[in-house]
Structure 1
Amino acid sequence: MKKPISSSRNSRRKFIQSTLTLAGGIAFTSFTPIKNYPFSGPGGMTVQQVIDLILKEGNLSPIPGTVDTLKSGSGDMVVTGIVTTMFATIIVIEEAAKLGANFIIAHEPTFYNHTDNPEWVKNNSVVKQKQALLAKYKITVWRFHDYIHSIKPDLVAYGTTKKLGWLQYFKTGKYDVTVPAMSLQALITHLKTSLGIKHLRYIGDLNQRVAHIALLPGAPGGQRQVTFAETEKPDVIVAGELSEWETAEYMRDQKLLGGKMALVLIGHNFSEDPGMWYLVEWLQPKLPGMKITHIASGEAFEWM
Structure 2
Amino acid sequence: MKNGENVSNVQRRKFLSNLTIATGSAVLVSSPFSSIASLFVEESRQITVGEIMNSFISEVPNGAIPNTVDTLKSGNADIVVTGVVTCMFATIEVIRKTIALGANFIIAHEPTFYNHQDATKWLENDEVFKYKSELLKKHNIAVWRNHDYIHSVHPDGVRKGLVERLSWGKYGNPDQNMYNFTSALSLKELIHDLKAKLEIPSLRYIGDLKASCSKILLMPGAAGGQRQIEAIIKNKPDVLVTGEISEWETAEYVRDARAKGENICLIVLGHVASEEDGATYMRNWLKNKFPSVKANFIKTGASLSML
For normalisation by structure 2, the TM-score amounts to 0.83
Deviation >6 Å, runs of 4+: 36-41
1:118 corresponds, among 94, 117, 120, to 120
2:218 corresponds, among 215, 220, 224, to 215
Greater fraction helix: 2
Question: Aligned residue pairs: how many?
Answer: 269
Determine the C-alpha separation between the residues in 1 that align with 2:231 and 2:246. 16
1:281 corresponds, among 263, 281, 284, to 284
For normalisation by structure 1, the TM-score amounts to 0.84
Q: Is the 8 A contact 1:38 1:288 kept in 2?
A: no
1:53 counterpart letter in structure 2: S
Determine the C-alpha separation between the residues in 1 that align with 2:40 and 2:189. 45
Aligned to 2:248, the other structure's residue is in SS state: helix
2:135 counterpart letter in structure 1: L
The question of 1:163 aligning with 2:165 is answered yes
The question of 1:183 aligning with 2:186 is answered yes
Provide closer, same or farther for how the CA distance between residues 40 and 49 of structure 1 changes in structure 2, counting only shifts above 3 A: farther
1:61 corresponds, among 60, 63, 74, to 63
Deviation of 1:255 after TM superposition, in Å, equals 1.6
Q: Is the 8 A contact 1:241 1:268 kept in 2?
A: yes
Alignment partner, residue 152 of structure 1: 154
Aligned to 2:249, the other structure's residue is in SS state: helix
Select the structure of larger CA radius of gyration: 2
Deviation of 1:125 after TM superposition, in Å, equals 2.6
Which ranges of structure 2 fall in alignment gaps of 5 or more residues? 1-37
Determine the C-alpha separation between the residues in 2 that align with 1:148 and 1:39. 30
Provide closer, same or farther for how the CA distance between residues 68 and 38 of structure 1 changes in structure 2, counting only shifts above 3 A: farther
Q: Is the 8 A contact 2:59 2:153 kept in 1?
A: no
Alignment partner, residue 299 of structure 2: 296
Q: Is the 8 A contact 1:218 1:240 kept in 2?
A: yes
Aligned to 2:106, the other structure's residue is in SS state: strand
Determine the C-alpha separation between the residues in 2 that align with 1:213 and 1:170. 10
2:89 corresponds, among 82, 87, 90, to 87
Provide closer, same or farther for how the CA distance between residues 159 and 225 of structure 1 changes in structure 2, counting only shifts above 3 A: same
Provide closer, same or farther for how the CA distance between residues 38 and 253 of structure 1 changes in structure 2, counting only shifts above 3 A: farther
2:208 counterpart letter in structure 1: D
Where do 1:21-32 residues align within 5 Å? none
Alignment partner, residue 21 of structure 1: none
Provide closer, same or farther for how the CA distance between residues 185 and 50 of structure 1 changes in structure 2, counting only shifts above 3 A: same
Determine the C-alpha separation between the residues in 2 that align with 1:59 and 1:291. 27
Alignment partner, residue 135 of structure 2: 133
Aligned to 2:241, the other structure's residue is in SS state: strand
Alignment partner, residue 199 of structure 2: 196
Provide the identity percentage.
Answer: 47
Aligned to 1:245, the other structure's residue is in SS state: coil
Deviation of 1:123 after TM superposition, in Å, equals 2.7
